[in-house]
Amino acid sequence: MLFGAVVLAIFAAGMWAVVMVYTVIDSGGGPVDLSVVAAANAVGLLAFAIPGGIAADRIPRRILLRIVALTDLLAITSVAVAGTLGPVAIPHLAIVAFVLGAGAGFFFPAYSAILPRILPPAQLLAANGLEGAIRPALQQAAGPAAAGVLVAAVLAPAHAAWGVVAAYAIALVLLLFVRPEPAAAAGESRETPAGVRGVLHDLREAVVFTVRTPWLLWTLLFATGWVLVFIGPEEVLLPFVTRDRIGEDPRLFGFLLAIYGIGGVLGSIFVSSMRLPRRYLTAMMGVWGVSTLPFAIVGITHQYWVMGLCLFLVGFGFSYGNVIWGTLLQRRVPRHMLGRVSSLDFFVSLALMPLSMALAGPLAEVVPVEIIFIAAGTIPLFLGAIAYIVAGMARDEIAHPLDA
């Protein structure tokens, strides 16, 4: 039930990515308006990531997942209903995007924290690989492709939101039948103060652990820089680059996201089909840094197949590294604080996402798009090298082998 619900929620999120873009365009919005809506989603995620992590370590994870599914369902339903009455206002879309981001702030820590409670350590890489394959397959491939077809078939893009509503509704029903997770092992549970004092205690414990763990701290700093230079061009500018250079058919952009997702699927399957690399930090940082280089070509080329190939490579490398990253959190972070550290990961690494999305549209008005994409594709390689060296990751992975 849990896996089925997660699959449907991911599929719905993939559909919404395309429906949201073309609903903004149908409402007369441009890159700046899309930046506002996308940034609202990121702000919601950041605002609730830390509370979501603390909640994931304190209350049953399945309860959090149910609340998120219900909230997402109501938010998307409001867009679908408004779309049947006329164009959806940009502020309405921004509010919905904020709500969905807030839900993600609770969903990801809860899901990350529940896996090591129900699976043995040796199975976590495979489980993360499966989830890593399902996520891009549905969120970046099947979901966007289905939404592209729906948007092209209906009278207004917002009408396609009813498909998203259906997916979230079924996911919520499945979550209602999820069984409680096993009780914590003896000695695993820890007493913490109640109320505000307890919340601050939990947060401080996670922050101290992160700061005192160099590989964790510097991968988070790398991710922060990566998000700043990459997410804005990908989320805000890519739809307009596709429209201006390739064509206005919504399916063209949807299929590009699908190709990006297929690359992510294969990257996840590839890494999870093998043992965790002995030099796991080297593999993770190396692939993350190199895999963004093809994105520079996306901003230069006018060939659709070249754009697709480059996005496939980016997706492959991104998911390859993400599977290793998720497994490292579950293997090297104490279980009683996994929800908080996961949420701290989201908060720190995505802290500059709103800025990246908010700047992408206005920046494209004064800087050539080609230059923006070249910077987004090349800067992460240098950021990764700095993080790898400063954190001493080569020594760390040898000192902490994860062969099992």
Beta carbons of 65 and 4 less than 8 angstroms apart? no
Query: What pLDDT digit, counting tens, does each position of 200-242 carry?
Result: 777 888 888 989 999 999 999 999 999 999 998 998 899 889 9
**pLDDT value at 287 more than 70:** yes
What contacts 255, CB < 8 A, 6 or more positions away?
Answer: 144, 145, 148, 308
pLDDT-based confidence at 345, cuts 50/70/90?
confident
Q: Nearest CA to 110 among 74, 173, 75, 62?
A: 62
pLDDT at 338: 81
**pLDDT value at 191 more than 70:** no
pLDDT at 376: 94
Q: Comparing 20-24, 125-129, 136-140, 180-184, which segment has the lowest mean pLDDT? A: 180-184
Q: Nearest CA to 236 among 32, 19, 26?
A: 32
Distance of CA 202 to the CA centre of its chain: 24
pLDDT-based confidence at 188, cuts 50/70/90?
low
Q: Which residue has the higher pLDDT, 188 or 294?
A: 294
Q: What is the pLDDT averaged over residues 191-203? A: 68
Phi-psi region for residue 178, left (φ > 0), alpha (ψ -120 to 50) or beta? beta
pLDDT at 244: 86
pLDDT at 193: 57
pLDDT-based confidence at 195, cuts 50/70/90?
low
**pLDDT value at 184 more than 70:** no
Q: How far apart are CA 330 and CA 338, in angstroms?
A: 7
pLDDT at 179: 76
Q: What is the pLDDT averaged over residues 392-404? A: 86
Query: What pLDDT digit, counting tens, does each position of 69-89 carry?
Result: 999 999 999 999 998 888 889
- Percent of the chain at pLDDT > 90 equals 34
Q: What is the pLDDT averaged over residues 381-390? A: 96
Residue 347 corresponds to which tokens in the numbers above? 């908060």
Q: Which domains does the chain have, with CATH numbers?
A: 2-178+196-399 (1.20.1250.20)
What mean pLDDT value characterizes the chain? 85
Tell me the CA end-to-end span of the chain in Å, nearest whole number. 28
Beta carbons of 390 and 218 less than 8 angstroms apart? yes
Q: How far apart are CA 65 and CA 9, in angstroms?
A: 10
pLDDT at 173: 94
pLDDT at 207: 86
What contacts 221, CB < 8 A, 6 or more positions away?
Answer: 348, 387
Q: How far apart are CA 267 and CA 253, in angstroms?
A: 21
**pLDDT value at 185 more than 60:** no
pLDDT at 314: 95
Query: What pLDDT digit, counting tens, does each position of 113-172 carry?
Result: 777 776 777 777 777 777 777 776 777 677 877 888 888 877 777 888 899 999 999 999
